[in-house]
A and B are shown apart, each in its own frame.
Chain A
Amino acid sequence: MALVSPASETASIPAPPAKVRAAADAPPALICRNLWKIYGANADAFLRANPIPTPAEVRAAGLFAAVRDATLEIRQGEIFIIMGLSGSGKSTLVRCLSRLVEPTAGSVFYEHQNLLRMTPAELIQVRRHKMGMVFQNFALLPHRTVLGNVAFPLEVQGMGKAEREARALQMIELVGLAERAGYYPRELSGGQQQRVGIARSLAVEPALWFLDEPFSALDPLIRHEMQNEFLRLQRMLSKTIVFITHDFDEAIRLGDRIAIMKDGAIIQVGTAEELVLNPASDYVSAFTRHVARGKVLTAGGVCVPVRPGETLAAAVPATALVAEVAEAVLASEAPAAVVDADGMIIGKLERATVIANLVGGVQ
């Protein structure tokens, strides 16, 4: 059997477009440490007196912790996904990271600058030039056309009319709305409105991009289309992205790493495969239960050690998804060899493993 190249597989299997995986060793771009957001009267004083309160203590004080003790390192060029049940504090966390909401305690560093120490004027500069955000409810300005909406952040910066409209038009073309540039938000469908929101957040070419459930209001077809578009954009622009979603399939398709939140706390951070293989709690495995495991697990993740002298069939790359290599593995009697980037054999992939993961059963 010849060596199966993942590239040719992606052509035959309708797999997601290949992601640009951020190198695992890329430097962190956005760091938050021990971030707290507590709602209620005198939350500051409460947290100063008791820096790491238990949930029961917070409740006893009549307060509510929307984000508790969150620590994250988001790498340069990474698509970082935040998941969690409704009300688990995802939006609040992202708003703390962008300082739309003032955290009660903790620190947020962006490119080695402490965001929480910045003066309003500095913050305005960072937001104008470094950050973009796509809002869950679009947040389009009803009195401006598509063009006016997309040009808005540039207008705020004081860019001249001709220049900003030219740039805005580029962005509008990027999201495929060139014919609708003169329309008002009222005259657009939900999917089109969200694309305007995306174009607008991209207009300033932010290095750091926040997206709060950008596709959740869309129907499945448009959503799929938008996800493809998002990946296409990211291949072109490679930004650092923080992306909130409720949908684990979406997280798998788009994300490099996923953080799972529960009651304001971050339970686990890892790749989709790590979450599936080593869930930190039942809560995490509940998220991954209905996942098509074949599309999450890699050959390297599920391979087992090779016994000396064993005969192995064709080699598959360790980073290939099980679903991608399934056909090749199943075609031969012997287990497939799993090789790393240097061609070294790191383990073998058994037919039974592939079948179990494709059918979705637990090993």
Chain B
Amino acid sequence: MSEVALPRDETHPRRFPVGWIVAGVVALAVLVPYAAPDSFGWAKTYPARWIVPISDWLKAFLFWLSRDLSFGLFTFKDMTRFVSGLFGYALEVPKALFSSGITFGDEEGAFHIPRLSWAGLIAAVTIWSYLLGGVRLAVLGFLGFFYILIFGQWDSAMVTLSQVILAVLTGVAGGTLLGILAYRVPRLEGAVVAALDFMQTVPTFAYLVPLVFLVGVGPVSGMLATILYAMPPMVRVTMMALKRVPPELDELARMTGCEPKQALWKVLVPSARDDLLVGVNQVIMLTLNMIIIAAMIGAGGLGFDVLNALRQANGLGKGLEAGLAVVALAIVLDRMSRALVELRPVHGAAAARRRQLFWIGLAALLGCTLLSFAFPALEKLPAEYRVSTGNMWSDVVSWVNVNLFSTADAIRTFLLMNLLVPVKTFLIGFPWVGLLAVVAGGAWALGGWGFALGMTALIAFIPVAGLWERGMTTIYLCSISVVIATLVGLPLGLLGSRSERMHKFLGAMCDTLQTLPSFVYLLPVVMLFRIGDVSALVAIVLYAMVPAIRFTDHGLRRVPPSLQEAGTMAGCTGTQRLAKVELPYALPEIMLGVNQVIMMALSMLVVSSFVGTNDLGKQIQVAISQADPGKGLSAGLAIAFLGILADRMIGRWVATRRERMGL
């Protein structure tokens, strides 16, 4: 701890050596409980009688919220009912369109309006992809949807797609309006930014439990969770995009005598089109990321298939098929929306051709759907034309079991025995007073007494709420994954910063990794490593590695050439230059990457709960299935606090460091 405290000490050399004293206190708090377990047992294991029944309070609060809270004209319950009812009705539209069609009357003599025909949809996606991004995108779009069709995933995929469409529309509209509001009313801006910061550090499933409790299990709460998760970036992008509109355009609006509304909708928003579309792409990506997590609270569709497969002993093959369908959907929608960002307005013949393609696509869609009145096969592909690779995947699984099992098992055992179990045992046995002292001391060195107090309060929540064992398991899994992800990501980012080809390759890889919903990683990993901590670890590392690569690459690329030349001129070898000039300069940026890694690792914890790790994620999962909102919410809060803790501490460090470097 003394190293952490030192810099402060140096700045006030003649003052009382506060740094050393803090370091000493921290060391005592850690060591004494180990040294004298008899008289300081209370400082090692948090005494059960000190546990504050926070879960019960939260439960009581949620019940009060749902039963008694009233705003005069209507109650809180009315409000949640209204919102869920609204979304429920709104969802009917895309659902009828894509997945169920509309049926009037009952079985005998029922009249059925078919859903959009698969043939039409595939044709339209292909044609529109061609319009947006040329032949390559058209091939991608066709293959993606064709895969979904031919492997029998169409029904599930359309359930998912209809939810995705509604969630994206709501997220984009809501985000844009909020962003505009924050832009227009400067007094609101601070509050909105603070809320966004908070939302971004809170892992998604921290709010699953209260949501389920208030809205109930089902597609609507799945969609609401998705919207809560996907909307914040749209708000941010909107605010930024509007600020970036050149001031002359604002003057133009006033000079031509625009009413405020005209200025907004005719000048500002259209001029910010490109940036806003980037936001739309973000919303689409995040929405697809949530497919499987939303399925945990009843969203159905492809996410449900994947989850179900994970729960069954022999479901891996089916699960992989559904997982690949999620991947196909995610990649096609992501690339299409990206191409839309790039699409610039044109005039004349090119514009006419675009219009033509658009109408041809629409005609194909509607035409095929009309035809499916006569040929039901166009609405639903008959089973005999479908292919299932379920068997093949089962074969692959058995093959893996036979041929790779011993290797994988050896790796697994090695990791468990030499890394996971020791660290876990150490952390769970760590004195809670020591943990608080370590956090407090670190926070003090970074930001003084007030900051230390806040951070300590956050970490104290874990023992005080009686979440010690699960909390420490979370910390253990998270920290090991973060270390590994960083150790793998750093060198990759380094390579990317050195060569253009590597940079391009890594960029494409990161894009793809980020488009995939977190759960997809779990399937192949479970195939290799079975259920257990190692699987969770590998899946988290794969998912959370991306920012480490990105930020390292970006940070090193931003080192000014003059600085590199100065290093070279001072006679540095390549390695010296990297170690002494470039890495120190890029370190703040890299640490921001690590911060992101931590956030993503925390958000992946929900995955770990599925492979049997007994951590906070598990508690949430159990709380969802048992409808125990108190326990779920307290576990969610604990994860949120861990996220905020890491975010604030790293943020503080980066800010100080940047200031010192004069950036």
Measured CB to CB, the nearest residue on chain B to A136 is B248
Instruction: Enumerate chain A residues within 8 angstroms of B252, measured Cβ to Cβ.
Output: 133, 135, 139, 141
Binding-face segment, A55-63, A182-190, A275-283: A182-190
Interface residues of A in 126-145 (CB under 8 A from B): 126-129, 131-133, 135-139, 141-145
- 6 shortest interchain CB distances as A-B pairs: A128-B257, A139-B248, A127-B257, A182-B347, A153-B256, A143-B270
Q: How far is A20 from B309 in the complex, measured between Cα atoms in Å?
A: 85
Measured CB to CB, the nearest residue on chain B to A187 is B347
A236 is an interface residue with CB less than 8 A from chain B:
no
Task: Please determine whether B257 and A100 come into contact, CB atoms closer than 8 angstroms.
Answer: no
Task: Please determine whether B347 and A183 come into contact, CB atoms closer than 8 angstroms.
Answer: yes
Q: How far is A145 from B251 in the complex, measured between Cα atoms in Å?
A: 19
Of B249, B254, B262, B348, which is within 8 A of A141 by CB?
B249
A86 is an interface residue with CB less than 8 A from chain B:
no
Q: How far is A131 from B252 in the complex, measured between Cα atoms in Å?
A: 12
Instruction: Enumerate chain B residues within 8 angstroms of A126, measured Cβ to Cβ.
Output: 257
Of B248, B249, B256, B345, which is within 8 A of A184 by CB?
B345
State the A residues within 8 Å of B (CB). Answer: 95, 98, 100, 123-129, 131-133, 135-139, 141-145, 152-153, 155-157, 182-184, 186-187, 204
A127-B254 in contact given A152-B266, A155-B266, A184-B346 (Cβ < 8 Å): yes
Measured CB to CB, the nearest residue on chain A to B346 is A184
Of A123, A139, A186, which is within 8 A of B246 by CB?
A139
Task: Please determine whether A141 and B256 come into contact, CB atoms closer than 8 angstroms.
Answer: no
Q: Would you give the 0/1 interface string for B272-284, flagging 1 where the beta carbon is closer than 8 Å to chain A?
A: 0100000000000
Of A128, A131, A135, which is within 8 A of B248 by CB?
A135
Task: Please determine whether B258 and A186 come into contact, CB atoms closer than 8 angstroms.
Answer: no
Query: In the assembled complex, how far is the CB of residue B507 from the closest CB belonging to chain A, in whole angstroms?
Result: 26
Query: In the assembled complex, how far is the CB of residue B578 from the closest CB belonging to chain A, in whole angstroms?
Result: 41
Instruction: Enumerate chain B residues within 8 angstroms of A123, measured Cβ to Cβ.
Output: 257
Q: How far is A232 from B255 in the complex, measured between Cα atoms in Å?
A: 25
Query: In the assembled complex, how far is the CB of residue A239 from the closest CB belonging to chain B, in whole angstroms?
Result: 15
Task: Please determine whether B348 and A131 come into contact, CB atoms closer than 8 angstroms.
Answer: no
Interface residues of B in 238-270 (CB under 8 A from A): 246, 248-249, 251-252, 254-259, 262, 266-267, 270
Task: Please determine whether A157 and B251 come into contact, CB atoms closer than 8 angstroms.
Answer: no
Of A129, A145, A152, A204, which is within 8 A of B347 by CB?
A145
Measured CB to CB, the nearest residue on chain A to B256 is A153
Q: How far is A59 from B627 in the complex, measured between Cα atoms in Å?
A: 67
Instruction: Enumerate chain B residues within 8 angstroms of A156, measured Cβ to Cβ.
Output: 256-259, 262, 266
B14 is an interface residue with CB less than 8 A from chain A:
no
Measured CB to CB, the nearest residue on chain B to A181 is B347
Q: How far is A156 from B255 in the complex, measured between Cα atoms in Å?
A: 11
Cross-chain pairs A/B with CB under 8 angstroms, 17 sampled: A124-B258, A125-B257, A126-B257, A127-B257, A133-B255, A136-B248, A139-B246, A139-B248, A139-B249, A139-B251, A142-B271, A143-B345, A152-B256, A182-B348, A182-B351, A186-B345, A204-B256
Q: How far is A317 from B348 in the complex, measured between Cα atoms in Å?
A: 55
Of A124, A144, A184, which is within 8 A of B257 by CB?
A124
Task: Please determine whether A128 and B251 come into contact, CB atoms closer than 8 angstroms.
Answer: no
Q: How far is A115 from B347 in the complex, measured between Cα atoms in Å?
A: 41
Task: Please determine whether A141 and B255 come into contact, CB atoms closer than 8 angstroms.
Answer: no
B15 is an interface residue with CB less than 8 A from chain A:
no
Given contacts A125-B257, A184-B344, 13 further A-B contacts (CB under 8 A): A128-B256, A128-B257, A133-B252, A133-B255, A137-B246, A139-B249, A143-B345, A145-B347, A152-B256, A152-B266, A153-B256, A155-B266, A204-B256
Instruction: Enumerate chain B residues within 8 angstroms of A186, measured Cβ to Cβ.
Output: 344-345
Instruction: Enumerate chain A residues within 8 angstroms of B346, measured Cβ to Cβ.
Output: 184
Of A124, A133, A135, which is within 8 A of B259 by CB?
A124
Q: How far is A184 from B262 in the complex, measured between Cα atoms in Å?
A: 21
Instruction: Enumerate chain B residues within 8 angstroms of A184, measured Cβ to Cβ.
Output: 344-347
Measured CB to CB, the nearest residue on chain B to A203 is B256
Instruction: Enumerate chain A residues within 8 angstroms of B273, measured Cβ to Cβ.
Output: 142-143
Task: Please determine whether B246 and A127 come into contact, CB atoms closer than 8 angstroms.
Answer: no
Q: How far is A142 from B268 in the complex, measured between Cα atoms in Å?
A: 11
Interface residues of B in 532-554 (CB under 8 A from A): none
Query: In the assembled complex, how far is the CB of residue A68 from the closest CB belonging to chain B, in whole angstroms?
Result: 22
Instruction: Enumerate chain B residues within 8 angstroms of A137, measured Cβ to Cβ.
Output: 246, 248
Q: Would you give the 0/1 interface string for B329-364, flagging 1 where the beta carbon is closer than 8 Å to chain A?
A: 000000000000000111110010000000000000
Q: How far is A166 from B205 in the complex, measured between Cα atoms in Å?
A: 58
Measured CB to CB, the nearest residue on chain B to A185 is B345
Measured CB to CB, the nearest residue on chain A to B254 is A100
Q: How far is A95 from B254 in the complex, measured between Cα atoms in Å?
A: 11
Measured CB to CB, the nearest residue on chain A to B344 is A186
Measured CB to CB, the nearest residue on chain B to A124 is B257
Task: Please determine whether A141 and B271 come into contact, CB atoms closer than 8 angstroms.
Answer: yes
Instruction: Enumerate chain B residues within 8 angstroms of A95, measured Cβ to Cβ.
Output: 251
Query: In the assembled complex, how far is the CB of residue B188 from the closest CB belonging to chain A, in whole angstroms?
Result: 22
Of B246, B257, B271, which is within 8 A of A143 by CB?
B271
Q: How far is A183 from B347 in the complex, measured between Cα atoms in Å?
A: 6
Q: How far is A124 from B273 in the complex, measured between Cα atoms in Å?
A: 26
Q: Would you give the 0/1 interface string for B472-490, flagging 1 where the beta carbon is closer than 8 Å to chain A?
A: 0000000000000000000
Q: How far is A141 from B257 in the complex, measured between Cα atoms in Å?
A: 15
Q: How far is A133 from B262 in the complex, measured between Cα atoms in Å?
A: 18
Task: Please determine whether B257 and A153 come into contact, CB atoms closer than 8 angstroms.
Answer: yes
Instruction: Enumerate chain A residues within 8 angstroms of B254, measured Cβ to Cβ.
Output: 100, 127
Task: Please determine whether A157 and B257 come into contact, CB atoms closer than 8 angstroms.
Answer: yes
Instruction: Enumerate chain A residues within 8 angstroms of B248, measured Cβ to Cβ.
Output: 135-139
Measured CB to CB, the nearest residue on chain A to B262 is A156
Instruction: Enumerate chain B residues within 8 angstroms of A131, measured Cβ to Cβ.
Output: 255
Measured CB to CB, the nearest residue on chain A to B274 is A142
Query: In the assembled complex, how far is the CB of residue A284 from the closest CB belonging to chain B, in whole angstroms?
Result: 30
Instruction: Enumerate chain A residues within 8 angstroms of B257, measured Cβ to Cβ.
Output: 123-129, 153, 156-157
Query: In the assembled complex, how far is the CB of residue A254 from the closest CB belonging to chain B, in whole angstroms?
Result: 21
Q: How far is A131 from B348 in the complex, measured between Cα atoms in Å?
A: 33
Measured CB to CB, the nearest residue on chain A to B260 is A120
Determine which residue in B252, B346, B351 has the highest number of CB atoms from chain A within 10 A of its CB, and name it.
Answer: B252
Determine which residue in A123, A129, A135 has the highest number of CB atoms from chain B within 10 A of its CB, and name it.
Answer: A135
Task: Please determine whether B255 and A127 come into contact, CB atoms closer than 8 angstroms.
Answer: yes
Instruction: Enumerate chain A residues within 8 angstroms of B258, measured Cβ to Cβ.
Output: 124, 156
Measured CB to CB, the nearest residue on chain A to B255 is A133
Instruction: Enumerate chain B residues within 8 angstroms of A183, measured Cβ to Cβ.
Output: 347
Determine which residue in A133, A139, A155 has the highest number of CB atoms from chain B within 10 A of its CB, and name it.
Answer: A139
Q: How far is A13 from B240 in the complex, measured between Cα atoms in Å?
A: 56
Instruction: Enumerate chain B residues within 8 angstroms of A138, measured Cβ to Cβ.
Output: 248
Query: In the assembled complex, how far is the CB of residue B9 from the closest CB belonging to chain A, in whole angstroms?
Result: 38
Measured CB to CB, the nearest residue on chain A to B259 is A124
Instruction: Enumerate chain B residues within 8 angstroms of A142, measured Cβ to Cβ.
Output: 271, 273
Task: Please determine whether A141 and B347 come into contact, CB atoms closer than 8 angstroms.
Answer: no
Interface residues of B in 201-259 (CB under 8 A from A): 246, 248-249, 251-252, 254-259
Q: How far is A186 from B255 in the complex, measured between Cα atoms in Å?
A: 22
Instruction: Enumerate chain B residues within 8 angstroms of A128, measured Cβ to Cβ.
Output: 256-257
Q: How far is A51 from B349 in the complex, measured between Cα atoms in Å?
A: 62
Instruction: Enumerate chain A residues within 8 angstroms of B259, measured Cβ to Cβ.
Output: 124, 156
Q: How far is A270 from B15 in the complex, measured between Cα atoms in Å?
A: 69
Determine which residue in B248, B249, B256 has the highest number of CB atoms from chain A within 10 A of its CB, and name it.
Answer: B256
Query: In the assembled complex, how far is the CB of residue B252 from the closest CB belonging to chain A, in whole angstroms?
Result: 5
Query: In the assembled complex, how far is the CB of residue A5 from the closest CB belonging to chain B, in whole angstroms?
Result: 43
Measured CB to CB, the nearest residue on chain B to A95 is B251
Query: In the assembled complex, how far is the CB of residue A144 from the closest CB belonging to chain B, in whole angstroms?
Result: 8
Of A135, A143, A155, A187, which is within 8 A of B251 by CB?
A135
Query: In the assembled complex, how far is the CB of residue B264 from the closest CB belonging to chain A, in whole angstroms?
Result: 12
Task: Please determine whether A100 and B255 come into contact, CB atoms closer than 8 angstroms.
Answer: yes
Query: In the assembled complex, how far is the CB of residue A121 from the closest CB belonging to chain B, in whole angstroms?
Result: 9
Instruction: Enumerate chain A residues within 8 angstroms of B255, measured Cβ to Cβ.
Output: 98, 100, 127, 131-133
Q: How far is A156 from B259 in the complex, measured between Cα atoms in Å?
A: 8
Query: In the assembled complex, how far is the CB of residue A172 from the closest CB belonging to chain B, in whole angstroms?
Result: 14
Measured CB to CB, the nearest residue on chain A to B273 is A143
Query: In the assembled complex, how far is the CB of residue B139 from the closest CB belonging to chain A, in whole angstroms?
Result: 29
Q: How far is A137 from B255 in the complex, measured between Cα atoms in Å?
A: 15
Query: In the assembled complex, how far is the CB of residue B248 from the closest CB belonging to chain A, in whole angstroms?
Result: 4
Determine which residue in A132, A156, A157, A184 has the highest number of CB atoms from chain B within 10 A of its CB, and name it.
Answer: A156
